[in-house]
Chain A
Amino acid sequence: MSTDWLSSALVFGLFEVVMYIGMGFLLHMQLGLAGIGNFGVVGFWGLGMYAYGIIYGGHAPSGTDLIIDIPWPFGDPWQAIASVILATLVAGLGGLLIGWIISGMDLDGQLVGTFGFAAIVFLLARSQKGLTGSEGGIGGLDFPYDIGSEKANAMLWLLVASAIVIAIGYYTWRVHRSPYGRLLIATGQNEPLARSLGKPSNLTKLWMFTVTSAGMGLLGAMFAVIVHFLTPLKLGVDVTLAVIVALILGGAARVWGPVIGVLLTVGLFEIVVQLYAPFPDSWYRQAMPVVKQIIYGMSLIVVLMYRPLGILGDMRRDKLMRSIHGD
């Protein structure tokens, strides 16, 4: 089978779409189900990404090692697999800590708290030269296998990521139908009352935030592998905005909302516009990233003006709650 139509750029675009769908599922559980406002998505994702780079043993572009240099007793792919798992755990720990800090806060407090967390991750990435390589970044992150060409390697990684995102989607779908999900929904709607339902609602919520944050970190670690090279510039607020806008566009309360939303935003930008729109080359390098940020930023403002949780409230009705009757 010929795969000429599948350019490296398209593989990368598809990877981004798949990854953002996964992020959308995870934010859907936080915001759509439990009503937790996470404005620091990029922080958890970036924590996983950088943790992977550091743990796997990436090095500064100059070739100097970072402070943390784990003497791996085994090579790839196990080294990469172990690093992905550890990076996921690190992001989960971050989620546990931040989830605990914001647990008593209202929506505004949660947004500020998570945003602050993302800012801290960014600052660490930029300033801790020994740990993160600061502006110089972390390089040396190759695919943990070689099946011939860069493109073939990337395609295989896309398949792995797709499998992971399908698993995340399946987990999300299961959560909707479980008593655990019902308690989350109740907590999101009326937290004081949910405390009196007979199950530990606050622990349930904290656990969900921990698990979903770990999932964001997992996707960040996956991303680290496909880009090979990490810099603080990757930790822009546009990552967070993309997930939020996609989620709200697609319907934050529905399982399929993130899929639709991401296809309409990231898919449109990273694939359709990026690869097939007849713009001059210089546009893509200079104007496009800016245009993208502006559009995401403006969509967010529009959404906030029209009260996201109001919209959420209505959309929540559509499909989500049907599942609540069953077990």
Chain B
Amino acid sequence: MLEVRDLRSGYHGVTVIKGLSLEVGNEVFTILGANGAGKTTLLATMARLIPLMGGELLFEGEDISKVPPWESAARGIGYVPQEKGLFPELTVGENLNVGGMIGDRDRQERVDEIYELFPDLAVLEDQLAGTLSGGEGRMLACGRALMQDPKMLLLDEPTAGLSPLYVDMFFESVTKIHETRGVGIVLAEQNATKALEVADRVMVLSLGEAFVIEEAGNLTTEQLKEGYRI
């Protein structure tokens, strides 16, 4: 579904992702890697927010290397950034409504589905997004992206800094999103143990290169340690 070929990207001439190739289908694909490995850069490039320095990006067989971010979203790639994933001065309900700007299905129906997925949000419907707790905010950011009915969801460290309770809940939701909605998921994570539990496949990203791409069950502790060593 989403294919990356010899991708290079970064900032102002600094290459962060150095020639990466991978293909993600309708699965949960986890990207592990130390701080600074380039997870955020890779996801933002996939969401077309950072220009490619080289290589190709394909979605459903079509080249999207040069499309603007709104078009990649319109084609079905939902993106939840690591930070600032919501509109702080809008309420929870308004964030979801704004998120559902595209898509054909009835918007209220979609909102109700999000509330079913994240029941905590339903209670907070009229609260300002900027006043939510970290965990609630992540759920909202994720729900906002789901409002677009994406085929592929890019989640950038959705559980970073959350309490264990929220972390467990969030990973359960990830599985649910994938299984009940049929959404392919690319999940960047630091929390290796939990992320491996929900993942079908995993890539360990190290200094902008794929150290290993493996079935989640087959990844060895050695590989993980090696990949995290800088």
Contacts and interface: CB of A to CB of B under 8 A. Distances in A.
B142 to A, nearest CB: 13
A68 interface: no
Range of interface residues on A (Cβ < 8 Å):
20 to 34
Contacts of B97: 182, 324-325
A148 interface: no
A220 to B, nearest CB: 32
B49 interface: yes
A133 B103 CA distance: 55
B87 A186 contact: yes
Contacts of B85: 193
Contact of A195 (B68, B90, B98): B68
Interface stretch (B18-26, B69-77, B178-186): B69-77
B101 interface: yes
A317 interface: yes
A324 B88 CA distance: 14
A323 to B, nearest CB: 10
A190 B84 contact: yes
A316 B103 CA distance: 27
A193 B101 contact: no
A199 interface: yes
Given A316-B89, A325-B93, A197 B99 contact: yes
Contacts of B103: 198
A289 interface: no
B101 A190 contact: no
Contact of A189 (B88, B99, B101): B88
A321 B86 CA distance: 15
Contacts of A196: 47, 49, 69-70, 72-73, 78-79, 145
A201 interface: yes
Interface centre among B70, B72, B79, B85 (most CB of A within 10 A): B70
B169 interface: no
B128 interface: yes
Given A195-B49, A325-B93, A325-B94, A200 B68 contact: yes
Nearest to B85: A193
A321 B148 contact: no
B89 A197 contact: no
A142 B89 CA distance: 48
A198 B68 CA distance: 10
Contacts of B148: 197-198
B94 A197 contact: no
Given A197-B73, A316-B89, A192 B49 contact: yes
Contacts of A208: none
B88 A190 contact: yes
Interface in B2-44: none
B81 interface: yes
Interface in A157-203: 179, 182-183, 185-186, 189-190, 192-193, 195-202
Contacts of B86: 190, 193
A68 to B, nearest CB: 39
A324 B98 contact: yes
Interface string A199-242: 11110000000000000000000000000000000000000000
B91 interface: yes
B89 A189 contact: yes
Contacts of B70: 195-201
B98 A199 contact: no
Interface string B46-84: 010100000000000000000011101110001101001
Interface string A300-327: 0000000000000100110001001100
B160 interface: no
Contacts of A183: 98, 101
Contacts of B101: 179, 182-183, 197-199
Contacts of A325: 93-94, 97
Nearest to B77: A196
Contact of A324 (B69, B72, B94): B94
B89 A195 contact: no
B93 A189 contact: no
B81 A189 contact: no
A197 B100 CA distance: 8
Contacts of B94: 321, 324-325
Interface in B77-127: 78-79, 81, 84-91, 93-94, 97-99, 101-103
B98 A186 contact: yes
> Shortest 8 CB-CB distances between A and B: which pairs?
A198-B102, A198-B73, A195-B69, A198-B74, A189-B87, A324-B94, A196-B73, A196-B79
7 contacts: A193-B84, A193-B86, A197-B73, A198-B73, A324-B97, A325-B93, A325-B94
Given A192-B49, A196-B79, A325-B93, 8 more contacts: A182-B101, A190-B86, A193-B84, A193-B87, A196-B47, A196-B145, A198-B70, A198-B102
Interface of A: 179, 182-183, 185-186, 189-190, 192-193, 195-202, 313, 316-317, 321, 324-325
